[in-house]
Amino acid sequence: MAHKKMILDLDTGIDDALALAYAVADPNVDLIGIISSYGNTLVTTAAQNSLNLLHLLGADNVPVFIGESHSSTTDHFDVMPISQAIHGKNGVGDVLLATSPQKVSAQSGVDFLIEAAHQYQDELIFIPTGPLTNLTAAIKKDPDVAHLIGNTTLMGGALTVPGNVTPFTEANIHQDPEAADFAFTHQDNLTMVGLDVTLRTLLTKKETAAWRLLGTTAGQKYADLMDFYIDAYAKLNIDKKGAALHDPLAVAVGIDPSYVTTISLAMRVTYDKESGDYGRTIGDKSRLLEPTTTKAAVLVDTPRFVNDFQNLMLNILNTTQK
């Protein structure tokens, strides 16, 4: 049995689908649940995407929970057109997946996170790859959560490179900067895996062609959705060399921090809309002299990670029914 427990918090688009597969495939962790979020798609669509992907990978035993449906400062959420262009209208590259026989859990995602934090404590790895709304909601409901979770590794932010929504702001942080600031200034043992490192990890159609050659349904479907992502990156002039492995890298670092080089930095997120740097992840000057457990990844061992990612994907995609 894997001795570490993992919870994914996914706004299940394409790179979230890769993160999900990585977590299922890695023998070093036990994926105990997925909390649905909003961002790449609506929270309910993200939940169903997660269920369908788990079914595709033969992991129907992993429960899926519904998280918050919008940011802490709004009353609804609309998917941005750019998100649909990158992830497809259904969030998974417009690829049709068989519907899972499983249903979402009746328990809320926030309550599940609180319960798991108390049950597993230091053995719990929490990986949010969308906005930090669910984490902040959990801490506000039960402040002990901030100190109980052993390892929170998020995909989001940009410290040393420009953002991908504004010159300062990365997309996940942009969805709920206020919640992100609360999480950054309250959550212990937090590592930010941002654009600084994820943009250095690219997958190409060479790798997805190998998935197709497996001859499995999972290999075909995952190749289809990833090729959609790679094509979107090229069409939108994001990167013509391949598509970034944003969310899978966060999962990998949560399991094995040695994939990245980090700096210890107490951070915060700006959320004054009049400031001109709304949603910026930056060092908190009021806490620069204080001890911190918050880290930001600034370098990544790209060859090692991409190779390990591909090997795990080939393994999990080959174990499903042909």
Tens of pLDDT, residue by residue over 11-26, are 999 999 999 999 999 9
249 SS3 class: helix
Residue 7 reports pLDDT greater than 70: yes
**What does the pLDDT average to over 247-259?**
98
- The 3-state DSSP class for residue 276 equals coil
273 pLDDT band (50/70/90 cuts)?
confident
CA dihedral sign, ordered 111, 112, 114, 119 = positive
Which residue, among 6, 8, 99, 81, has the nearest Cα to 45 in the 3D structure?
99
CATH of the domain spanning 4-318 = 3.90.245.10
What pLDDT does residue 274 have?
80
Strand partners, 269: 281
116 has pLDDT over 70: yes
Identify the band that residue 251 occupies on the pLDDT scale cut at 50, 70 and 90: very high
Q: What percent of the chain has pLDDT over 90?
A: 94
**Six token digits for residue 53:** 């992907």
Confidence of residue 322 (pLDDT cuts 50, 70, 90): low
- Calpha distance 313→24 (Å, rounded): 10
pTM > 0.95: yes or no: yes
Mean pLDDT of the chain, nearest integer: 96
104 pLDDT above the threshold of 60: yes
Confidence band for 321, pLDDT divided at 50, 70 and 90: low
What share of residues in the chain are helix, strand, coil (percent, to 5)?
45, 15, 40
Only one residue has tokens 């090229």, namely: 234
* Helix or strand (DSSP H, E) at 174: helix 171-175
Inter-axis angle of helices 43-56 and 217-235, nearest 10: 140
pLDDT over threshold 80, residue 212 = yes
Residue 135: strand, helix, or coil: helix
